[in-house]
Amino acid sequence: MLDFEEELKKFKPIPDTSEVAGAIYDRDLTDMVDILKEMVKEKR
Amino acid sequence: MNCYYCGVDIGDEQQCPYCGADQRIYWKILHASAQAYNEGLQRAQVRDLSGAAVSLHRSLRMNKYNTQARNLLGLVYFEMGQTTLALREWVVSKNFQPDDNPVDRYLTSVQKPGILNRLDSIAQKYNQALAYCRQDSRDLARIQLKRIIGSHPKLVEAYQLLALLLIQDGKYEEARRALVSAAKIDSKNPITMAYMEEVRASYTAKKKSRRRRRARKDEPEMAVGAEAVVAPQPGILEVLDGSGSGIVNILLGAGLGILVAMFLIVPTMRQNENNDAQNALVSANKEAATSANNIASLEKQVEALNKELDKYTGQGDLKTSYEKLLEAQKAMDEGDSEKAVAAIGTVNETLLSANGKAVYESINGTIQEEAAKDTYAEGSSAFRSRKYEEAIPLLLQVVEFDPEYSDGYALYYLAQSYENTEDTKSAAKYYAQFAELFPNTSRGRVAKSKAESMGESDPGDEETVEAVENEQMAD
């Protein structure tokens, strides 16, 4: 049996299009190449 | 290919000749990112949008410059109704690759007038529905979600939230329909699948309980103590068994049944019917007796009332009796005896006072005397005319009024009339009466001798009449 309250927590509000900028800034764009660069940099 | 560390074009070299960075790991990362993109693309092609998004995210985690993966991720978000997330990915994609980027087409189509406003409005409505859910206003939430689905049928989350509400309210069929619609957009969404499984489980539970109920209805149960043992019912073919013994058993059973009915049930039924009839008869007799008693009682009452009525009807009441008495008195004074007789006949003597009764008796006596006088005249005339049959009743009336009327001649003529009609018994009776009333007269002596000798000597009619007339003249 589903727990209604718990299931409800899974649903998040949909951001408005005016919040796209914020969403972009919040987006973590770090990838593995960036990590690799960091690792090589630290090694040297 | 450029070195990932210093950015110099190094061709196919495994190690950068300028910075010495090992390129093999970088290649592996790019290869893994490409693989993840391919996986995401395949999933998107079979409408597993959630799975595609996961794969594309993985691809971008490895290589954030994988424009194809980012553009596709934006497209997947847009298809799932997540416009803002789609725009985010497309804007970033455009930022990483400003030129020759297919994302321009997507952004142009989304930025047409009115589209973003409409998409914002849908997002606001969905958020409102979510707020309703958290406030436990499920009905309002359901209405809002249905509106959203009507205007923007690609918002998977709207279907899922609606299904959750419906499941919570036990409306599994409606929930199933919402989930099917959601699955048409995103076929393997984990939330959609979880909810669908919940709906299936409820259907299974219902089917099981229905089967149990049906089984309870269909199968006969023999209670043994606290438990119930289900006894299988043999079919008619099993009973007959094809051997013929079953039919014989059935016929024997039917015969026994008829015999039992004839010897046990039918007599009992008849006995009951007879008892009922007897009871009904007794009851009817009782009712008849009661009715007879009632009738007798009523008849007595009627009789008593009639007697009571008789006092007042025909003879008049007290006032009428006195009026008639006065009328009779007046008629007597005027010499109208007929009118007096008629009036006195309607007077009720019992209602009169003592004085009234004295007056009544006086008038009545006078009237009767008058009547006796007339009757005697008529009777004696008939006697003299030798019409003895006519004379007898008239003279009887006079004798009854006064046996000594006209010095006993009425009585004497009556005795002679009976004698002449050969009624010696009556004649002897009245002769004896006369002799008793007038013993010292010659007629008395003659009457005595006649009474004594009646039957031995029978004097002639003419002699008798003459003798009597002579005696009358002498007296």
Say if the Cβ atoms of B63 and A31 lie within 8 Å: yes
Same domain for B104 and B175, yes or no, is: no
Q: What is the ipTM of this complex?
A: 0.86
> Which residue from B62, B92, B123 is facing A24, i.e. has the nearest CB?
B92
Same domain for B92 and B128, yes or no, is: no
- Residues B325-364 pLDDT 10s: 888 888 888 877 778 878 887 887 777 788 888 888 888 8
Choose the final residue of a domain: B69, B94, B111: B111
Say if the Cβ atoms of A27 and B92 lie within 8 Å: yes
Residue B105 falls within a domain, yes or no? yes
Give the Cα separation of B184 and B198 in Å (integer).
18
Size of interface A-B (CB pairs under 8 A): 91
Give the Cα separation of B442 and B452 in Å (integer).
15
Q: Which residues in A2-33 are b (16+ Cβ under 10 Å) and which e?
A: beeeebbeebeebbbbebbeebeeeeeeebbb
Tell me the average pLDDT of chain B: 83
Residue B163 falls within a domain, yes or no? yes
Contact B157, B167 (CB under 8 A): no
Residue B466 has pLDDT above 90, yes or no: no
- Residues B295-319 pLDDT 10s: 888 888 888 888 877 666 555 567 7
Same domain for B381 and B461, yes or no, is: yes
Residue from A1, A3, A5, A33 to probe the interface with B (highest B Cβ count within 10 Å):
A33
Contact B340, B331 (CB under 8 A): yes
pLDDT on residue B327: 85
Check CB contact of A19 with chain B, cutoff 8 Å: yes
- Residues B258-285 pLDDT 10s: 888 887 788 888 888 888 888 888 888 8
Instruction: Give the residue on B whose Cα is nearest the Cα of A23.
Output: B88
Choose the final residue of a domain: B184, B211, B238: B211
Say if the Cβ atoms of A33 and B26 lie within 8 Å: yes
Range of the domain at B66: 24-111
Residue B467 has pLDDT above 90, yes or no: no
Name residues whose C-beta falls within 8 Å of residue B240's C-beta, 6 or more positions apart in sequence: B246, B247
Residue B403 falls within a domain, yes or no? yes
Residue B59 falls within a domain, yes or no? yes
> Which residue from B65, B87, B161 is facing A11, i.e. has the nearest CB?
B161
What is the number of domains present in chain B?
3
Give the minimum alpha-carbon distance from A44 to chain B in angstroms, rounded to a whole number. 10
Say if the Cβ atoms of B88 and A24 lie within 8 Å: yes
Residue B62 with chain A: CB contacts under 8 Å? 31-33
Check CB contact of B37 with chain A, cutoff 8 Å: no
Q: What is the mean pLDDT of residues B17-28?
A: 87
Helices then strands, counting H and E runs in chain B, come out as 21, 2
Residue B116 with chain A: CB contacts under 8 Å? 17
Q: Which one of A35-44, B224-233, B283-292 scores highest in mean pLDDT?
A: A35-44
Give the Cα separation of B179 and B185 in Å (integer).
10
Residue B15 falls within a domain, yes or no? no
Domain boundary assignment for chain A:
14-43
Helix (H, G, I), strand (E, B) or coil at B22: strand
| pLDDT tier, B128 (very low <50, low <70, confident <90, very high otherwise) | very high
Same domain for B92 and B153, yes or no, is: no
Check CB contact of A24 with chain B, cutoff 8 Å: yes
Choose the final residue of a domain: B95, B111, B127: B111
Q: What is the CATH number of the domain that holds B428?
A: 1.25.40.10
If we measure between CA atoms, which residue out of B111, B67, B112 comes closest to residue B90? B67
Q: What type of residue is B23?
A: Q
Residue B464 has pLDDT above 90, yes or no: no
- Residues B171-190 pLDDT 10s: 999 999 999 999 999 999 99
- Residues B355-369 pLDDT 10s: 888 888 888 888 888
Q: What is the DSSP letter of B230?
A: E
Same domain for B126 and B87, yes or no, is: no
Residue B164 has pLDDT above 80, yes or no: yes
Instruction: Give the residue on A whose Cα is nearest the Cα of B116.
Output: A17
Say if the Cβ atoms of A17 and B130 lie within 8 Å: no
| pLDDT tier, B66 (very low <50, low <70, confident <90, very high otherwise) | very high
Instruction: Give the residue on A whose Cα is nearest the Cα of B157.
Output: A11
Give the minimum alpha-carbon distance from A43 to chain B in angstroms, rounded to a whole number. 11
Instruction: Give the residue on B whose Cα is nearest the Cα of A31.
Output: B61
- Residues B234-267 pLDDT 10s: 555 555 555 567 678 888 888 888 888 887 788 8
Radius of gyration of chain B (CA): 72
| pLDDT tier, B163 (very low <50, low <70, confident <90, very high otherwise) | very high
Say if the Cβ atoms of A33 and B123 lie within 8 Å: no
Residue B238 falls within a domain, yes or no? no
Q: What is the DSSP letter of B352?
A: S
If we measure between CA atoms, which residue out of B128, B206, B145 comes closest to residue B181? B145
Residue B463 has pLDDT above 60, yes or no: no
pLDDT on residue B81: 86
Residue B96 falls within a domain, yes or no? yes
